[in-house]
Structures are given as structure tokens and as C-alpha cells.
Amino acid sequence: MRNPLLLIAKREYLKVVRKKSFWVIILLIPTFTAIVSVISGNSANTIQKHIEQQVKGAKRIIIVDKSGLIAPAFIKTPLEAMADAQAAQTAVQQGKADAALVYPADIASSHVMQSYVVDTGLISRGRFDALGQSLLQQSILAKLPNPSDAALIATPPKVQATVYAKGQKIITSIEAYILPILAVVIYFLLTVTSVNYMLMAMSEEKENRMIETIRSMVTPQQLIWGKLLAMIGLAFTQVMTLAIYGVIAYQVSTKILPVHIDWSLVHFGVWQLILTIYFIVSGFAVMAAMMVGIGAAMPSYRDAQQVSPLFLLTSILPIYFFSILLADPSGSVARITSYVPFMSPLVLTFRASVGALPVIEQIIGIIVSALYVVISFYVAFKLFEVGSLEFGKKVSLKNILRRS
């Protein structure tokens, strides 16, 4: 007889990958994200160009300078000087001018100027604001004795920063975060999508009572490990599919958008990579085990779906305070949440990927993660033993303790 564990794994794997929904879910989210990003970028550029064209196409812009700061040399067509602010406002109101920019006498203390414009749409109502600010800035700079100094104020110099950590120069560009980004994305993918198939498989087999037949042929341990092996295969399929999809998308985007990554700047150690993979796998194992337990404990897939989000949301909760982790990956919040059940895999994955785990915390993190895996599988086996053959009702704590 063939190995029952492999038979179960093959059956579960093929059952999922043959579904069109599996491939749709894998490709739909990144495709939708890419499309939205491109559309948003093009829309922003289109709006900016539209506003610039409206400013360039203005036929009459009235300048009322009561501050005495605006240099007359800058007031050229379509700009026109006027002394009466009320008359300028009336001209705009009657449509005889596109805009009127009024610089009050106390602008140095109030830091406020008035702008009157003809409405051409919601997004372009402030189209002359930048012109008014620039005109004032250029007029003030023109009065400085050294033109080169004025240029530095008008266009501040770029800052070329060099950052050191423990005496070593570190990369501060986007290339330094390639591994953390990939690690978090993969963990999120495995947690939110892959383990859900485990919940679905366990719940549906219990709901249609196929679990009775299966348990008569294999042991609970073989069934669970077989399903887990199938989930690992599905996770690997998802990651490889997205990797190929990502490479193709990157090649296409570099030709369409100004997106370029200097891969020579992407550096990480072998141990750093191994540690990152370890925390991803351990987190996946914990969540997969919990889905087995929930699927066995709940009377139906619908009931299981109502409970599982509690664990899933807890596992990705660090995303909501990710800015704190990013700002200080070795801070108090990062250290505390590194050992909180369900949250620890994601936090440890991120900290390991950015090299923010000291040796002592690496050791503790490895031990704690392994301990959580053992505990979760123990709970999952107990819930399965008690709940897999109890139909129509939830598993009670009393029954679990009685069989422990």
C-alpha cells in the first residue's frame, strides 16, 4: 500500500490547484494593485498637466501689491499690475480676468495673501496659488546681493546622506528593504490565503461526514500531516507563481515607468535569510495547526469562518503599527510583540530580515517559535480527536480536558 500521508497530501493539493479560484486569488490581488497604481499615477500626471495648461493659458492675471515686495520686472503679460484690490476682485467676479493675486501690506507678519480666481473645476481652484507664492519668492530673492545665494534659497541643494551602524556603512535606499518587503508579503500571503485552505478542507470533510470514512483508513496524525504537507505544496506554488509574475511585472514596469532597482545594492547574509525563512515557516505552521483545530471544533465551515478571523487578524495585527516597527525595529514595542502569541512570527520575520535581532534575541526567538509550533499542534491534535466525530455541535472545553 502506498504511503497514506503522501496520498492525502496529493489529494488535497490537486483538489485545490484544479480550482480556477485558486489561480484567480493568486493573480487577482497583485494585478488589481498594479492596475490601480498605474491608473492613479497616470491620473495624477494628467491632472497636474491639466492645471499647468490652464495656468499657461490664462489671458489676464491681476497683481495687487500693497506690500511693495513684488519686483515690477516680473510683472509681464499675462500679469498686470493694479492698485485697487476691490477693482481686481470685481474684474475676476465679472469674468474679465482669470485671477487676481493680492499681497497685503502686512504679509510679512500675517503670512497670508488673497487669491481670487474664476472657477474651472474642483481640482483646479488653487491653480494660481503656486504662481503667487513663486512670484513673491523670486521678487525677494532678486533683491539679494549675490545671485548664487538666491539660487540656493530658491532651489535647496540635494542631501547625500551616509549612515553608519556599528561602524559599518549601511544602505538607506529602497534596495535595503527588498528582503523585508518580500518576507512580509510572503508571510501575509501564507497566513491569509494558504492556511484558509486547511480550514476549508477540514470543515467541509467534517460537515459532509467524509471524515468518518477517512479516519477509518488513516490515523489522525497521518491525516493532519498529509493536509499540512499539501498546504506547504500550495504555499510553494503560490510563492513561485507570484515570483514569476513579479519578475515579468518588473520587466514590464521598467519599460513603462521610471522604476529601477540597483540589485548590486541588495545585500543580506546567509544566516539572516535562514532566520527569516525559519520565522515565516514557523508562523505558517502555527496558523495551519490552528485552522485544523478550529475546523475540527466547529460544526460547520460557516461556524469555523466566524472564529478563524480572530486568529488571522491577530497574526497580521503588527501591520497596523508597522510604522513603529520600521522606525525602531529594536525598540520596546518590537521586543515585546516579538514574543506575543500569533503576532510574534510577523514581528520576528521583519526584525530578522532587517538584521535587527541581537544574538540573544535570535536564540530566544527560535526557541519561542518552536515552542509555539509544538503547543499549537498539540492543541490541534486534541481538538481533532475530540471534535472530528462530533457533528452538529461545538467542542466543549470539558470534553477536551477529559481526553487530555
Q: What pLDDT is stored for residue 402 in this prediction?
A: 55
The dihedral over CA atoms of 384, 386, 389, 392, expressed in degrees to the nearest 10, equals -100
Termini Cα distance of the chain:
32
Mean pLDDT by 10 residues, the chain (404 residues): 75 82 76 70 69 81 92 90 92 92 90 90 81 86 68 64 61 67 82 74 69 70 80 82 79 65 70 90 87 78 78 85 84 90 90 88 94 89 72 56 52
Cβ–Cβ under 8 Å, residues 118 and 98: yes
CA distances from 182 to 139, 329, 403 (A): 49, 17, 42
Judge whether 103 and 65 are in contact, CB under 8 Å: yes
Per-domain residue ranges for the chain?
4-30+173-403, 60-154
The grid coordinates of residue 212 equal 468518518
Task: Say how far apart CA 107 and CA 77 lie, in whole Å.
Answer: 24
Q: Please, are residues 97 and 88 in contact by the beta-carbon 8 Å criterion?
A: yes
**What is residue 365's predicted lDDT score, i.e. its pLDDT?**
93
Phi, psi of 81 (to 5 degrees): -80, 145
The pLDDT score that the predictor gives to residue 155 is: 66
Closest CA to 37 of 26, 29, 25: 29
Three-state secondary structure string covering 181-222: HHHHHHHHHHHHHHHHHHHHHHHHHHHCCHHHHHHCCCCHHH
The three-class DSSP label of residue 150 is: helix
- 3-state SS, residue 168: strand
Cβ neighbour number for residue 229 with a 10 Å cutoff: 17
Task: Tell me the CATH number for domain 60-154.
Answer: 3.40.190
Complete DSSP assignment for 234-283: HHHHHHHHHHHHHHHHHHHHHHHSS----GGG----HHHHHHHHHHHHHH
As a whole number of angstroms, the distance between CA 139 and CA 63 comes to 13
